[in-house]
Amino acid sequence: MNAIKYMEEEMVIKKGVDLLMKGLGPLETLRFLQLPSKKRLDIVKQHRVWQSGLNSKQFLDDVFSE
């Protein structure tokens, strides 16, 4: 079985930015890198909805029960 080797993070970033620059050009690369993460905001919203209906005592009892 072959071991999976990952590139160093710096190399991943450099190659990713290079590919973006080649494919999109400098202006669109900058726009892409500055896009807000809608998915992240959706996750926070979902968590707040879940948390608003949470019975904290029951939740903690469930988490810390033996």
**Which pLDDT belongs to residue 24?**
96
pTM of the entire structure? 0.49
Instruction: Classify residue 14: in a domain, yes or no.
Output: yes
pLDDT score, position 66: 65
Note whether residue 13 is domain-resident. Answer: yes
Element (H, E) at 43: helix 38-52
Report if residue 46 sits inside a domain.
yes
What total of structural domains would you count in the chain? Answer: 1
Q: Does 4 fall in a domain?
A: no
Which helix (H) or strand (E) segment is 31 a member of? helix 26-34
Spans in the chain with pLDDT lower than 50: none
In a domain, 20, yes or no: yes
Note down the domain range covering 13: 9-64
* Average per-residue pLDDT for the chain: 88
Look at residue 26 and tell me if it is in a domain: yes
* Contact call for residues 24 and 34 (beta carbons, < 8 A): no
